[in-house]
């Protein structure tokens, strides 16, 4: 175990929510690439992503989402709205959500001063050093302007390369729980043919999540059955039950 990572009980469930901030996602102009990335990342380190919200660049909506989610989940992550332009209102909105002042942070100003050539640290760029009082900075190895963490809320940039770099910087500080294990059974039948067997397997295995995901490829329906559990013995038992059900339905697995 990484010694810099806070010890998490192997029985603890650690949860998270993600708030994607940006008009451009809601208008369709930009297609989000951060949700899938964060989902994979958190699952891999033993944190359950439980909810995602996409909200517009409106302070009240950001405040409401963050305040609603930060009391419900271990961690909240946000992406977007921390750049230098007038529509970047995330830092101010987070300060408002926590009821704390916001100003240019000397640590962030020093980072930007060190990065930009003499005389090029304009007022707009200094805007990226506005950090709510009491927050810790999150390193940005790509373009320097930092993200920040306040309470259990982690504020990251929206550009995928920068968000990913910030997430790498955050990960060692996160408490993580027992990882969700997963096994997929591919079935060459539509899910309605195996539904009864899957339900029986689910009913017989508390603590296991059996998901059935239909697919349509060139008009032909098949199914992926995903079995998830934190305990490996339980997982194997449920997978065996699913495979037996599928075989009974006459499908190859």
C-alpha 11/C-alpha 179 separation (Å) is: 9
E-strand ranges in 109-239 read 130-132, 136-138, 147-150, 153-156, 181-187, 209-217, 220-229
- Told to check if 23 binds a second copy by CB under 8 A, we report yes
Give residues 120-149 in contact with a second copy (rule: CB under 8 A): 122-125, 127-128, 142-143
Of 3-11, 78-86, 170-178, 239-247, the segment contacting a second copy by CB under 8 A is 78-86
Determine if 239 is a binding residue for a second copy (CB under 8 A).
no
Interatomic CA distance for residues 77 and 69, integer angstroms: 10
Query: Quick count: other Cβ atoms within 10 Å of Cβ 40?
Result: 11
Query: Which of 14, 21, 25, 63 is close enough to bind a second copy by CB under 8 A?
Result: 25
Binding piece for a second copy, criterion CB under 8 A, among 79-87, 98-106, 129-137, 232-240: 79-87
Nearer to a second copy, 125 or 236 (CB): 125
Q: Tokens 């539509």 — which residue?
A: 190
**Residue 166 CB, nearest approach to a second copy (Å):** 14
Residue 67 near a second copy by CB under 8 A: no
Per-residue contact flags (x/-) with a second copy for residues 203 to 222, judged by CB under 8 A: x-----xxxxxxxx----x-
Q: Which two tokens stand for residue 211?
A: 């998901």
52 touching a second copy, by CB under 8 A = yes
User: Residue 3 Cβ, how far from a second copy at the closest point, in Å?
Assistant: 27
The 8-class DSSP code of residue 94 comes to: H
Among 12, 92, 139, 191, binds a second copy (CB under 8 A): 191
Measured CA to CA, the distance from residue 127 to residue 130 in angstroms comes to 6
User: For a second copy, which residue of 29, 101, 119, 220 counts as binding (CB under 8 A)?
Assistant: 29
What's the rounded Cα separation, in Å, for the pair 113 and 41?
Answer: 32
Tell me whether residue 146 is exposed, middle or buried, using C-beta atoms within 10 angstroms of its C-beta: 0 to 12, 13 to 18, 19 or more: buried
Q: Which is nearer to a second copy, 126 or 137 (CB)?
A: 126
**Three-state secondary-structure class, residue 90:** helix
Contact indicator for 190, 223 with CB cutoff of 8 Å: yes
d(CA 12, CA 119): 50
Of positions 14, 21, 34, 53, contacts a second copy by CB under 8 A: 53
Q: Which is nearer to a second copy, 92 or 191 (CB)?
A: 191
**What residues line the site for a second copy (CB under 8 A)?**
20, 23-32, 35-36, 39-43, 48-57, 61, 83-88, 122-125, 127-128, 142-143, 159, 161-162, 180, 182, 191-196, 198-199, 202-203, 209-216, 221, 226, 228
């Amino acid at each position: 175990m990484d010694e810099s990572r806070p010890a998490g009980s192997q029985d603890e469930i650690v949860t998270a929510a993600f708030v994607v901030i940006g008009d451009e996602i809601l208008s369709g102009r930009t297609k989000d690439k951060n949700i899938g990335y964060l989902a994979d990342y958190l699952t891999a380190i033993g944190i359950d992503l439980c909810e995602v919200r996409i909200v517009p660049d409106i302070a009240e909506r950001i405040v409401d989402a963050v305040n609603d989610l930060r009391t419900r989940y271990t961690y909240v992550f946000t992406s977007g709205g921390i750049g230098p332009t007038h529509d970047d209102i995330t830092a101010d909105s987070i300060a408002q959500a926590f009821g704390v002042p916001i100003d240019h942070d000397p640590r962030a100003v020093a980072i930007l001063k060190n990065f930009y050539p003499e005389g090029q640290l304009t007022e707009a760029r200094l805007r990226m050093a506005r950090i709510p009082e009491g927050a810790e900075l999150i390193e940005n190895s790509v373009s320097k302007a930092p993200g920040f963490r306040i309470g259990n809320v982690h504020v990251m940039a929206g550009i995928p390369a920068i968000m990913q770099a910030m997430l790498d910087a955050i990960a060692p500080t996160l408490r993580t729980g027992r990882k969700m294990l997963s096994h997929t059974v591919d079935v060459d039948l539509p899910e309605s043919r195996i539904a009864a067997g899957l339900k029986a397997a689910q009913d017989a295995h508390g603590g296991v999540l059996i998901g059935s995901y239909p697919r349509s490829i060139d008009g032909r329906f098949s199914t992926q059955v995903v079995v998830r559990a934190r305990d490996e013995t339980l997982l194997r038992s449920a997978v065996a039950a699913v495979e037996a059900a599928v075989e009974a339905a006459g499908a190859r697995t």
